Amino acid sequence: MTAPEDRCRLVLIVPDIADIEEQAKVVADALRGGDVASVIIPQYGLDDGVFQKHAEKLVPIVQAAGGAALIAGDSRVAGRVKADGLHITGNVAELTDAVEKFVPKLIVGAGNAADRHHALEVGELRPDYIFFGKLDGDIKPEAHPKNLALGEWWASMIEIPCIVMGGTDAKSALEVALTGAEFVALREAVFADPAAAPSIVAEVNALLDEKAPRFED
């Protein structure tokens, strides 16, 4: 499958499902729907040992589908399960530590950039991407206006790619794409009805193919 490098691409956030087998099936099904750049795997309050078991199951599924598997938080788990990267939601000190230790061996992305000042602080550390929004921040059909505004501002100025959290409606992916952001993250929009996840991923890709702005080379 060729990736559409010239437009906004989809990032999936793994849903909070306690049963490992069920969670793995839901994610694998969604990935069959079409292009997904990466999948972020949050810990969701699981203890480290249980989280590692979830990640061990999920990471190969994501990688086999051509996506980058990113572990939210625990660098030891990321290393043990041979993930592609880390999503850091902690403070600047935590991000600094992760960038120094793991780049370029692993992708290191930065969450928790809630305003322009913090975003620029994060940008100085040169992470591989910056994430606007919270991993579980999709509580309305549309993307949060503040995150859209931050994505548009960032994409217009800074070369580091950004991911903007979408809403619970799959069409919110286009809202994000229109800001110029390189990636849109979806969770509930794809996984609220697991049986529909593959068709929703396909629909989002078709929508972005048709209507998302193209990046200049």
Taking the whole predicted model, whether its pTM rises above 0.95 is answered as yes
**DSSP string computed for 116-127:** HHHHHHHHTT--
Of all residues in the chain, the percent with pLDDT exceeding 70 is 99
Q: What is the pLDDT averaged over residues 36-50?
A: 96
Mean pLDDT of the chain: 95
**DSSP string computed for 33-101:** TS---EEEE--TT--HHHHHHHHHHHHHHHHHTTPEEEEES-HHHHHHTT-SEEEE-S-HHHHHHHHHH
- Inform me whether the pLDDT recorded for 33 exceeds 80: yes
| CA 133 to chain CA centroid, nearest Å | 10
* Predicted pLDDT of residue 74: 85
* Predicted pLDDT of residue 110: 97
- Inform me whether the pLDDT recorded for 216 exceeds 90: no
Ramachandran quadrant class, 215 (left: phi over 0; alpha: psi -120 to 50; beta: rest): beta
Asked, for residue 72, whether it belongs to a domain, the answer is yes
Asked, for residue 50, whether it belongs to a domain, the answer is yes
CA distance 93 to 79: 20
Asked, for residue 215, whether it belongs to a domain, the answer is no
Q: Which has the closest alpha carbon to 12: 138, 161, 140? A: 138
Asked, for residue 66, whether it belongs to a domain, the answer is yes
- Inform me whether the pLDDT recorded for 100 exceeds 60: yes
Asked, for residue 157, whether it belongs to a domain, the answer is yes
Range of the domain at 104: 9-210
Q: Quick check: 214 and 7 in contact, CB under 8 A?
A: yes
Asked, for residue 145, whether it belongs to a domain, the answer is yes
Q: Quick check: 165 and 143 in contact, CB under 8 A?
A: yes
Number of domains in the chain: 1
* Predicted pLDDT of residue 217: 62
Asked, for residue 216, whether it belongs to a domain, the answer is no
Q: Quick check: 141 and 168 in contact, CB under 8 A?
A: yes
Confidence class for position 1, pLDDT limits 50, 70, 90: very low
* Predicted pLDDT of residue 4: 81
Asked, for residue 2, whether it belongs to a domain, the answer is no
Q: What is the pLDDT averaged over residues 75-97?
A: 94
Confidence class for position 55, pLDDT limits 50, 70, 90: very high
Q: What is the DSSP letter of 6?
A: T
Residue 116 is part of a domain; what is its CATH number? 3.20.20.70
